[in-house]
Amino acid sequence: MTAADPARAHAAPHTAVFIGTRGLEAFDPALFEDRAAVRLVGVFTTLDAVHLTDLWRGWFDEVHVVPTLEPDPSPLNTAQIDVDAGTEVVAALLRSTSRDRLTVHTYLEQNVLGAAQIRQRLGLAGPCPAEVIPFLDKLEMKQRVAAAGVRAPAFGAWDPERHRAGARAHFEHITGRVGLPFVLKPTDSAGSIGVVTVESYDDFAALPVDGDLGRAYEYEEFIDGRVYSVNIISAAGRTVFGGVTEYLVNSADVAGGRVNADINLLDDDPRVARMVAFAGEALDALGRPDGASHLELFLTGDDELVFLEVGARFKGLSGLAAMQRHYGQALVNVAFGIESGVPSRPWQGEQVYCFDACMPLRAGVVADRLEPKIDSSYEMRWTVRPGDRVEGTSDLVTVGGTFLVWNRDFEALYRDFRLLAEYQPFTYA
């Protein structure tokens, strides 16, 4: 034992506050090099805390349940904490913990701003609101990447006053800038919620005549291409992990009932290095934060890469667990270590090629659940049962379940991935 070791043994533990359960499915505190040197504190909404497993609860020295930000949140926002309540929890921790030994972490889009606000209010290290806003506001996001020379769709801010002055003139103004069809998106949403594709003036004329779409919107050029995501972990402005996933269908197809799946590509695929470099340029334009980023882009038929959007967090649903198994890396531990300074040992699990998928719903009563006809191993996680009356999926959040698929043979796995394009997981009464 060196002379420094006794001092380290008596040092106060590092306190890490996790906001939301997202990311816990791929997190493993047992990998910490010194588990006793870390105190984990969880902050969850009432609606999110129900997802805590007994295993996850056992990781936390303290679990705090706080109100949601909205009194009656939409499904997308059930895990979004009330920031004042979260601030009170962290402020109480600071009575017995120094600021340099306390960090705040979240891997859910809806809590990225709240976590930044708590850090700023209490003088903690980590991204503050000004640093995360470019990853949350789709207008500012595109303005910055386009100004840096990164190819992005032509875009503009939705103007309710211009619409009230005349829908036809407003339509001609937008199509003159971005063409037809074009896409309308909320500037502050995720999961494709609220996205509308306008293919004709009739579609446009069906919008509210007063131009009020219920929140701030942007319009942007429709890009015809296959969608990919680039998943990056950064430290001190450089990429320490980069991987690419190919989407089976574009998000607009999910509402039509097609399975939403994405497969992790092999590192030696020529698309990977090119897309990781493209994503790095976009992140640099936004002032890339330490930790995880999830960027989506198009690859067009003309072999052009076009920026879609990016979040300062890992990808969602079961995709993170699939990435971890595919790459054989403890990705959440890696990002957490960069953010907190707490090191982890390498992942101890089995590396196997893997992808995830979620199952869309059509409106009606579920009659039966159908297993996929594929050769690879898979694990289903159904969230609806026969007899349930369900609403149709109109976003990437309201689905009937998720599943993981894995195989040691990547070519066989990829064949099964493509087969899922025709898979219908439910029949309806």
Q: What's the pLDDT at 7?
A: 45
**Biggest alpha carbon–alpha carbon distance for the chain:** 78
- Please, what is the average pLDDT of the chain? 92
Is 246 strand, coil or helix?
strand
Is the model's pLDDT at 35 over the cut of 50? yes
Cβ count near 373 (within 10 Å): 10
Q: Pick the range with the lowest mean pLDDT from 4-13, 39-48, 67-76, 193-202.
A: 4-13
| Residue range 84-104: mean pLDDT, rounded | 97
| Exposure class string for 400-428: b at 16+ Cβ within 10 A, else e | bbbbbbbbeebeebbebbeebeebebbee
Residue 416 sits at the vertex; the CA angle it makes with 411 and 421, to the nearest 5 degrees, is 130
As a whole number, mean pLDDT of residues 151-170 equals 95
C-alpha–C-alpha distance, residues 377 and 4, integer Å:
49
pLDDT above 80 (res 3): no
Cβ neighbours around 251 below 10 Å, total? 16
* pLDDT of 177 above 70: yes
Cα radius of gyration rounded to whole Å, the chain: 22
Query: How confident is the model over 357-368, as a mean pLDDT?
Result: 91
Instruction: Look at the pTM and tell me if it is higher than 0.95.
Output: no
The pLDDT assigned to 250 comes to 72
- State how far the Cα of 317 lies from the Cα of 23, in Å rounded to an integer: 9
Q: Is 190:251 a contact under the CB 8 Å cutoff?
A: no
Give the separation between CA 287 and CA 132, rounded to whole angstroms: 9
Considering the chain, what percentage of its residues have pLDDT values greater than 90?
82
Residue 4 has pLDDT above 50, yes or no: no
CATH topology for the 4-126 domain = Rossmann fold (3.40.50)
CATH of 225-428, one of 3.30.470.20, 1.10.3720.10, 3.40.190.10, 3.30.1490.20: 3.30.470.20
Euclidean distance between the first and final Cα of the chain, in Å? Answer: 69
Only one residue has tokens 């319009």, namely: 219
Specify whether domain 154-221 bears CATH 3.40.50.880: no
Buried residues in 333-348 as b, exposed as e (16+ CB within 10 A): bbbbbbbbebebeebe
pLDDT band at 94 (very low <50, low <70, confident <90, very high): very high
- DSSP structure class, residue 81: B
> In angstroms, how far is CA 186 from the centroid of its own chain?
16
Instruction: Yes or no: say if 272 and 198 are a contact pair by the CB < 8 Å rule.
Output: no
For the chain, what are the domain ranges? Answer: 4-126, 154-221, 225-428
What digits encode the pLDDT tens for the residues 119-153?
999 999 999 999 999 999 999 999 999 999 999 99
